[in-house]
Each structure stands twice: as structure tokens, then as C-alpha cells.
């Protein structure tokens, strides 16, 4: 097959003047090289397309591909992750990973949790706040609470003061983020239990859990918040480990239910936290999980559970190829 690659290359945006944190979700050159290596090994040819503007220019010039391996995160708007898939749908070009509906929904953490809650999947109580007047929406929530941007990933907008213990701390945390442009915010009940991330491959009834890993903080970490700084410098502050089978199993079961309920495809991750009773709760989903073969959570946790990087890429590709077969 002729496979195009859509992506946002971090180095290009840094050269254009964007900050390290603004480009946190974008990909490294080494990620593209790793994906291409596996696709070539599987017998496919590849063409680097790049970001959405490059894609539209190539489409207008008449370029087409049998499949697009899409890892483009987009830059602007609540639907930024959905933009490339929407254009590819318009041109009837199949692609990897979730469709525009899922990608637009899941970037909005609040709307995602509404769906999850309606499906009777445990998730902390929450509210989406856009202005100081909205603080009244969480007036009856028990403390501590957790504050983060409603539509960011990679820990952006999460810091030591995301966990708040009283109304004054809540107001200060929200005002700081609003002043920095992080609108809107999601505030949810802080769960005291263990923190894990679960990897899933496949689509629908054929999706399966590749395992989970637990995130634990070393003694030199200033706090136990998995913030942007912690994620960026995880080797200094964080340890990843395999949870016990009695923890792994219910976390994978809950995550798989959420994956299917949201209609996610091909591969991704679901973040989980245990509540005071030890029950796994849905925190958020990443349907475009990072695919750096060395540093990204999905390849790391898969490797810890016995699945190597070539298996991940092949399974993602096979899952997407089944949609092409159905269309034919």
C-alpha cells in the first residue's frame, strides 16, 4: 500500500516561535522514523505529508494514498484533532485511529465524562467552569478537588496547585489558569488512590487491553501531581511499574468498556485512578496516544506487558485495513 503520514512535527513549530509547552503534544523526528521503519518492514511505501495545510495542498494538487497513518494533533480549536480525519473523510481516503466525532468529543474532557457517566462507567464528579461565576457549580463538592484545562493533553496546564483543598485555593488556581488563557477548565473530585494508564489496541468487539502500568512518584518529586513538568522529566521523578493482577484486571476491564462506549479505534490509552474504595475510575482517554518507540506511554506499557513496538504498529495498521476491506 501507499501510506501517507500526517503529523505535526515539534521542531517545525519551535522554529516558528511556539514554546516547548505549546508544542508538548507534537511529534519528534524519531517518532516518524520509527513508524516508517515498521511500515516499510511490513512491505508498504510511505510519503510524509505533514500538518493539515500540507495535506490540503497535496490533495488539491491531486495526490492520493491508499491509507493515511494519522497522528496529527492539530493546532487550533476544540476540534483540532478531528480536522485531518474530517478532510480525509471528504476525499474518501481511509486513515488510522478514530473518526472526527470521537476526536472532537474526547478532546473535550467534560463532554467525554458525560458520555462515560451515562454508560454507567465510574468517573469522578465534575463540572466545566468558564468564568468565576461558574465556581458556584462546585460549591457543594467535597475537597480536595482537581483543576485542569478542559481541552489539553500531555499534562499542559497541570501543576502543583492543580490539587486544591479549600475554596480560596480553588479560586486562586482557576484565576491563574484563566489569566494564562486556559479556558474552559474542568474541576473534579480528587481521587486518593493509585494512578494507572491502560493501553488498548483494536476497534469495537476486536479491541483488547495490552495491559496497564502504574505511575509512582519518587521521593525527590515536589508533589504527587502528574504535571506537564513531571511528564516532560519523567525519568527524574517518576517510576513506571506493573500493578498486581488484582488491580490490573479491573482497570483493564473498565478501560475497555470506556474505549468501546466512546467508539475509539485502532489504539490509544485510558488514564485510570482508584477511588477510596479501590474502584477504578475513568479519568480521560487519549485516542491519539504518542507513538515514540522509546518515550511514549503506550509503547512503554505495552513493552512492560510483553508487546513490542512492531506488534503495536502492525495491530494498528491491521485494524485500520479492515475498514478498507469493508468499504470495498
Q: Tell me phi and psi for residue 10, to 5 degrees.
A: -60, -40
Fold of domain 125-189: Dna Ligase; domain 1 (3.30.1490)
* 241 Cβ contact partners less than 8 Å away, ≥ 6 residues apart: 213, 214, 216
As given in the structure block, the three cell numbers for residue 11 are: 521542531
CATH architecture of 2-106: 3-Layer(aba) Sandwich (3.40)
Report the candidate in 321, 274, 267 with the shortest Cα–Cα distance to residue 298.
267
DSSP state of 221: -
Rounded to whole angstroms, the maximal C-alpha distance in the chain is: 59
Q: Tell me phi and psi for residue 228, to 5 degrees.
A: -60, -45
Contact 298, 199 (CB under 8 A): yes
Report the candidate in 274, 316, 266, 268 with the shortest Cα–Cα distance to residue 296.
268
CA-angle at 164, arms to 238 and 276, nearest 5°: 70
Contact 195, 301 (CB under 8 A): no
pLDDT one-digit tens code per residue, 37-92: 999 999 999 999 999 999 999 999 999 999 999 999 998 889 999 999 999 999 99
Residues 305-324 as b or e (16 or more Cβ within 10 Å = b) = bebebeebbbbbbebbeebe
Q: Give the per-residue pLDDT at 224.
A: 60
Domains 2-106 and 195-327 in one fold: no
Q: Give the per-residue pLDDT at 156.
A: 78
Rg of the Cα trace of the chain? 20
Give the 3-state secondary structure percentages of the chain, helix then strand then coil, rounded to 5. Answer: 40, 20, 35
Q: Give the per-residue pLDDT at 37.
A: 98
Residue with grid cell 477511588, as numbered in its chain: 275
Integer Cα distance of 97 and 80 in angstroms: 15
In the chain, % of residues over pLDDT 70: 94
Q: Tell me phi and psi for residue 114, to 5 degrees.
A: -60, -45
Q: Three-class SS of residue 309?
A: helix
Residue extents of the structural domains in the chain? 2-106, 125-189, 195-327
pLDDT one-digit tens code per residue, 127-169: 999 999 999 999 999 999 999 999 887 677 788 889 999 999 9
CATH 3.30.470.20 is held by the domain 195-327: yes
Amino acid at each position: 500500500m501507499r501510506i501517507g503520514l500526517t503529523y505535526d512535527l515539534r521542531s517545525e513549530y519551535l522554529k516558528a516561535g511556539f514554546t516547548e509547552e505549546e508544542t508538548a503534544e507534537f511529534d519528534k523526528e524519531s517518532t516518524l522514523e520509527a513508524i516508517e521503519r515498521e511500515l516499510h518492514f511490513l512491505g508498504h511505501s510511505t510519503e510524509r505529508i505533514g500538518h493539515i495545510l500540507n495535506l490540503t495542498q497535496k490533495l488539491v494538487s491531486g495526490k492520493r494514498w491508499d491509507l493515511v497513518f494519522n497522528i496529527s494533533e492539530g493546532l487550533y480549536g476544540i476540534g483540532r484533532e478531528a480536522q485531518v480525519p474530517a478532510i480525509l473523510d471528504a476525499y474518501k481516503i481511509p486513515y488510522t485511529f478514530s473518526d472526527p466525532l470521537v476526536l472532537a468529543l474526547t478532546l473535550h474532557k467534560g463532554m467525554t465524562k458525560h458520555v462515560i457517566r451515562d454508560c454507567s462507567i465510574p468517573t469522578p464528579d465534575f463540572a466545566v467552569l468558564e468564568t468565576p461565576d461558574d465556581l458556584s457549580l462546585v460549591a457543594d463538592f467535597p475537597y480536595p478537588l482537581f483543576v485542569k484545562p478542559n481541552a489539553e493533553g500531555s499534562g499542559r496546564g497541570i501543576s502543583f496547585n492543580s490539587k486544591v483543598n479549600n475554596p480560596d485555593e480553588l479560586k486562586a488556581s482557576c484565576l491563574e489558569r484563566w489569566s494564562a488563557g486556559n479556558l474552559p477548565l474542568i474541576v473534579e473530585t480528587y481521587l486518593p488512590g493509585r494512578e494507572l494508564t491502560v493501553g488498548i489496541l483494536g476497534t469495537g468487539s476486536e479491541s483488547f487491553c495490552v495491559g496497564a502500568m502504574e505511575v509512582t512518584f519518587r521521593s525527590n518529586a515536589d508533589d504527587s501531581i502528574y504535571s506537564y513538568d513531571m511528564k516532560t522529566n519523567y525519568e527524574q521523578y517518576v517510576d513506571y511499574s506493573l500493578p498486581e493482577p488484582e488491580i490490573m484486571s479491573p482497570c483493564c476491564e473498565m478501560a475497555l468498556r470506556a474505549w468501546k462506549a466512546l467508539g475509539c479505534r485502532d489504539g490509544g490509552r485510558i488514564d485510570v485512578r482508584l477511588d477510596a474504595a479501590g474502584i477504578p475510575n475513568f479519568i480521560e482517554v487519549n485516542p491519539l496516544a504518542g507513538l515514540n518507540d522509546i518515550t511514549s506511554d503506550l509503547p512503554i506499557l505495552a513493552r512492560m506487558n510483553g508487546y513490542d513496538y512492531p506488534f503495536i504498529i502492525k495491530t494498528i495498521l491491521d485494524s485500520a485495513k479492515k475498514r478498507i476491506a469493508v468499504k470495498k
